[in-house]
Amino acid sequence: MDKMKLEDLRKALDRRELSAVELTAYYLDRIAQHDRELNAFITVLRAEALQMAAAADRRIAAQENVTALTGIPVAIKDNIYTEGIRTTCASRLLANYYPSYDATVVSRLKQAGAVLIGKTNLDEFAMGSATQYSYYGVTRNPWDRNRSAGGSSGGSAVAVAAGMAPLALGSDTGGSIRQPAAFCGVWGLKPTYGRVSRYGLVPYAPSFDQIGPLAASGRDLLLLFQTIAGYDPLDPTSLPDPLNLDGDLSASIRGLRVGLPREFFGTGLDAGIKERVLAAAKVLGAAGCELVELSLPSVAYAAPTYHLLAYAEASASMARYGGVRYGSRAGAGRGNVEMMTTTRHGLGLEVKRRILLGTYFLSADCYEEYYRQAQKVKAWMIRDFAAAYRRCDLLLTPTTAAPAFRFGDEAKEERALALTEQYTVAANLTGNPALSFPCGRINQLPVGAQLIGPAGTEALLIRVATVYAESATEGGFPGETVPETGEQIEG
Ligand code: GLN
């Protein structure tokens, strides 16, 4: 069943050949079998999921408000609020934190009748690229357990890749949905900034943070995206409707101009990945797209600009964890300063590093030299991309510079990781939507390609990638699109 498409599951549920309780029990079994090793979940919602599934079955029986997701299990990254359900952000500080309300995306899933199956692992407060800075242990890649799943939404990517959930939500501040999706061979979308409500998403760098879907196919991804997207008065940065969400995924892509930006194909990129992404470009060319080579010079500065701005925002976001209002408190009874200091020692090293650097970047002495300069580069990057969109409709790039790295090889892989950030953060700095989709494999390891487009083009990105995925499957070239997860994790 983990290889079944959502539309087939939907049909089986609607025809009552399969109940939502059976479907949920199936995924709970997969989790029980595989998650001890993979560690994709921080919390598995066994009882709650079965209850929600039973409610979905009643809804289906009564044919009341049945949506595309009624009775379908969804895994939720553990930095997204779930009412009465532990939400840890992979931090020791929030080990016993139970939010009193749902994030808007979670209420939308509940309204749609989806089943929340568990809360997935991440780097503490989503600060990282390997799901290794988690108080709850590292997440492993189902294609090779000695390799990283990527991050920070590593748990969500692994849940889908290993068939422990058909759908998952992640968050993406600088690539945290797309990079793990690429490492694990699944689809992941970072929506246009403001397209999906951030209400109830624990902030890391609020001007970049977006919640987005992960799934095993473009169609599944679109269904989850359609469920969570749309205006929300509770998020002041939410974009107004109307949305252009209806992706007729079978519509022709003939005549579309696909840009290949030079800065994404230069030195440091793995030769196999380059070959596969260019092969995908050829497939799109054969489908009638015009391939346009172009340059985006601002991208060379993307990673440092992102880190500076993200850490500055993080230092503000993290100010709330002082033992007063949220999470665990340490050093109580020894005065406020002592209490706050001791409590903050409960944060992991990486989080502390970012708070300290962010505070430094915002200090009076550095503000002009660092923060203001970074804001200028960001403005330049927005203009640079806008100019590119006059020459092409969307951009095709690799998602990562190398496949998933082996644990312990972080130092060796540092250059590839830095380059990957250069590839992914541009979409966060410009607010553009970006999609990572599977693009073949190298030595069994998945390769991800990325499509970036102007604001509001999510459905178009998914449509274009689906054309590639379908032609690739039919032609058996250049690579399989959906991993044979069952076989992989048995091996
Ligand atoms: N790897 C990036 C970082 O460490 C992105 C993280 C994210 O998108 N949440 O900041």
**pLDDT at position 246, please?**
67
| CATH number of 92's domain | 3.90.1300.10
Q: What's the whole-model pTM score?
A: 0.95
Q: Which atom of ligand 1 is nearest to the CA of 171?
A: 9
Is 304 found in the same domain as 244? no
Q: Is the CB of 305 under 6 A from ligand 1?
A: no
Token pair for 145: 């357990």
The yes-or-no verdict on residue 36 having pLDDT over 80 is yes
**pLDDT at position 359, please?**
96
pLDDT digits (tens, 9 = 90+) for 313-364: 999 999 988 777 777 788 888 888 888 888 888 899 999 999 999 999 999 9
Q: How many domains does the chain have?
A: 2
CB of 311 closer than 8 Å to CB of 359:
no
The yes-or-no verdict on residue 448 having pLDDT over 60 is yes
Is 307 found in the same domain as 251? no
Residue at 205 is within a domain: yes
Q: In the listed set 201, 226, 255, which residue is the last one of a domain according to the structure?
A: 255
Of the listed ranges 17-26, 125-134, 478-487, the least confidently predicted one is 478-487
Q: Name the H helices within 288-348.
A: 302-317, 336-344
Is 199 found in the same domain as 64? yes
Domain that holds residue 325: 300-379
Sorting pLDDT into bands at 50, 70 and 90, what band is 310? very high
Q: In the listed set 379, 408, 440, which residue is the last one of a domain according to the structure?
A: 379
Q: In the listed set 199, 228, 255, which residue is the last one of a domain according to the structure?
A: 255
State the catalytic residues.
77, 152, 176
CB of 339 closer than 8 Å to CB of 327:
no
Q: Which atom of ligand 1 is nearest to the CA of 205?
A: 9
**pLDDT at position 473, please?**
53
Q: What is the dihedral of CA 119, 218, 184, 2, to 10 degrees?
A: 70
C-alpha closest to that of 308 among 357, 363, 235, 240: 357
Place of tokens 């990572």: 436
Higher pLDDT, 107 or 322: 107
Q: Which atom of ligand 1 is nearest to the CA of 126?
A: 9
Q: Is the CB of 180 under 6 A from ligand 1?
A: no
CA of 176 to the centre of ligand 1 (A): 5
Is 181 found in the same domain as 57? yes
Is 242 found in the same domain as 159? yes
CA of 174 to the centre of ligand 1 (A): 5
Of the listed ranges 119-133, 236-250, 387-401, the least confidently predicted one is 236-250
**pLDDT at position 476, please?**
34
C-alpha closest to that of 225 among 240, 214, 233: 214
